[in-house]
Amino acid sequence: MGERFPGWHGTTIIGVRKGGRVVVAGDGQVSLGQTVIKGTARKVRRLEPGGRPVLCGFAGSTADAFTLLERLEKKLEAAPGQLQRAAVELAKDWRTDKYLRNLEAMLIVSDGRDLLVITGAGDVLEPEHDVAAIGSGGNYALAAARALMDQDLDAEAIARKSLAIAAEICVYTNGNVTVESLDAA
């Protein structure tokens, strides 16, 4: 990820919105240099602040991502049902807070209505074409998903096929997939 942790490599997380569903899916590999440390990590979560589900997938440092997910959950509790507002507030804190700005992770989040990528550079991005992907295999998964969007496949099938393609190309991505989904709002 960054200069402080040059041996750590990420993962692949994808978000797909199609046919009334939103899916966030990710692989399970954690690598240190050329060594696979764990193959069954769970990098996609469902948060339910105030009983409203939000899907979250993360790439980067796990401890950093959990810190960010906790912050996002607090922002969502303060602004129920307003994912975009909570994401912008998190991104502002992440960029300006002395502690948070050193965190190395990226997030894909969705409440069924919004599908967003949140970065430590202060970005809250709504992807085009209803597909977002992050992590070391993110570009491979993104390209595959974009090519599959006009096929007769649902959001989950597109996410799974895209992750399988990324796993065949990116050595830091495996085929152990976690999928969470919501109805699109």
Supply the residues annotated as catalytic.
11
The DSSP call for residue 3 is T
Q: Tokens 């989950």, residue?
A: 156
Neighbours of 37 (CB within 10 A): 11
b (16+ CB within 10 A) / e for 121-138: eeebeebeebbbbbbbbb
Strand-pair partners of 115: 110
CB within 8 A of 185, min separation 6: which ones?
111, 112, 113
